[in-house]
Amino acid sequence: MASYSPSRSQISAAVNDIRNARAPTLWQSISVQQALTTKDRPVKKGMRVSRTILPAQNETGILQLVRDTIHASGNGTQGHNDYGPISTVDIAGEWTGRRASPSTLVAETSSSESAKYETIVAETTSSLTILYLFGGNFCTGSPASYRSISAQLAELTGGKCCTPGYRLAPQCPFPAALIDVFIAYLSLLYPPPGSYHQPVAPSSIILAGESAGASLCLSVVQIILTARRLQKTDGDPSVIFHGQRVPIPTPAGLTLLSPAPDQTLSLPSFMANADSDILADRLPVLDRNFPACELWPSDPPRGNLYCNVSMLDHPLVSPVVTPSWIGCPPLWIALGGGERLLDGTRLVAQGAANDGVVVRWKEYECMPHIWPFVFPTWRQSRHCWEAWAKACKLLGSGWLVTSRATHIKKDSLEEQDIDGCALTSLSMAEARACMENHQKNARPYTGKNSQMSVL
């Protein structure tokens, strides 16, 4: 597929086209949106897919660890403990790879899932395992709907991808998704009984994700770092998993595309970049004319799909307010200069860099949210995919050990070095003030004929 570099007017037109195309779907009920994005799909030619179940019933040790980290990470107020009952469940997921011989274009075989997994492994060229966490505002998406992404990462890196189907909001609000992806990470390290895979060394595991999935990657690492502080150890913290106390090492690194680290959507760039991004001013779910459904009823009224409004500025919900990144593994972050979530991501990267974390920052001039997925024919998309794969391979080999922040010019793709410790003039105090103001003025969704749900 030929690639080209769009002009500014072409970028603007393309962004508007995507917004217009997405609008009707965003006004469908949450039940309909989930049904559209969670249905299984036939495996496309050239892909390898092995479906799996990661058992996790009644993992009380993990539940206690998550509770402890939520409480320790919060500000001590009741609002930061305002979440419902939590549980563990079995997690459906997929292993994904690319066929070693793409000329053999046959559809999915009828082999057993374990045999399909063995074929995926046989066709890899590295031990790299990417735990891919998909986006979708925590309320849509599935491993099947992101197969093309995970398969492309597997092809470009020579490794394999594991994509867990974490529980979706609003029916399973915070911290359900976080619990599921944390269990998926532990399951790579310590395969539960009946698993197809062998234990994966942490040095071979990369956490990867886009948008909300990238935010989950950051939160998983914060669980580990907070547990380390709570258990007062310089080494790895531990947890009871499938009846055994096991250490929880950090992965080799995180590779993040267009993270969504601020769930209030209230920082200055959200309005400043309104005309250059595919994200709408506000998702319509809080509009009084939005259709209620079984998953998103108007009674009781709620102010956010993912969590209670009082939790929106909790670090495990919005990693932008994380006070410390000390001990975090290397971060590779790519995002567009036209993104509405730019400020929050800059604060995360800047904070991590100032805490001594190795940070590779790539800011692509003019690019909108998740542009490599939405506009695959742009030269900037191909450049980002190649850089993403290279970062995964460097992290897996332990060779990504120095920080570098660059601004990538739109047409030439020239990388200009910038100061990764000073990416934004926005202070953390200013960011918190924006977020707190949003929480104070939030209005719940109460359905049609209500005077409360006015955006």
SS (H, E, C) 45-70: CCEEEEEEEECCCCCHHHHHHHHHHH
Asked if pLDDT for residue 157 goes beyond 70, the answer is: yes
Return mean pLDDT, the chain: 94
Of the candidates 377, 339, 393, 378, the residue with the CA atom closest to the CA atom of residue 125: 393
Tokens of 265: 């959507």
| Lookup: tokens for 43 | 């495996």
pLDDT digits 0-9 by tens, 358-387:
999 999 999 999 999 999 999 999 999 999
223: tokens are 């669980």
Per-residue model confidence (pLDDT) at position 69: 97
How do 331-336 and 160-164 pair as beta strands? unpaired
Residue 254 near residue 325 (C-beta atoms within 8 A): no
Question: What is the per-residue pLDDT for 451?
Answer: 40
Burial class (CB in 10 A: 0-12, 13-18, 19+), 321: buried
Only one residue has tokens 């024919």, namely: 377
pLDDT by residue (tens digit) across 311-321?
A: 999 999 999 99
| Percent of the chain predicted with pLDDT > 70 | 96
Q: Is 243 helix (H, G, I), strand (E, B) or coil?
A: coil
Mean pLDDT of all residues in 304-316 = 96
HSE-up of 246 (CA within 13 Å, CB side)? 20
Q: Which of 347, 354, 289 is nearest to 318 (CA)?
A: 347
Residue among 136, 139, 224 at smallest CA distance from 173: 139
Using alpha carbons, list the distances in angstroms from residue 250 to 139, 152, 188: 27, 25, 12
> Is 238 exposed, middle or buried, given 0-12, 13-18 or 19+ CB atoms closer than 10 A?
middle
For the CA atoms of 328, 165, 286, 32, what is the dihedral angle to 10 degrees?
A: 160
Q: Are 332 and 395 in contact (CB under 8 A)?
A: yes
- Band of pLDDT at residue 447, cut at 50, 70 and 90: confident
Cβ-Cβ contacts under 8 Å for 208 (sequence gap 6 or more): 130, 131, 132, 133, 153, 217, 254, 255, 256, 388, 392
pLDDT tens string 24-59: 999 999 999 999 999 999 998 889 999 999 999 889
Compute the distance between CA of residue 265 and CA of residue 454 in angstroms, rounded to an integer: 17
Residues 13 and 278: their CA atoms lie apart, in Å, by 11
The letter for the amino acid at 440 is K
Bridge partners of 445, per DSSP, are: 302
Position 106 scores a pLDDT of 52
**CB neighbour burial string for 34-68, b if at least 16 within 10 angstroms, e if fewer:** beebbeeeebeeebbbbbbebbbeebebbbebbee
Q: What is the pTM of this model?
A: 0.96
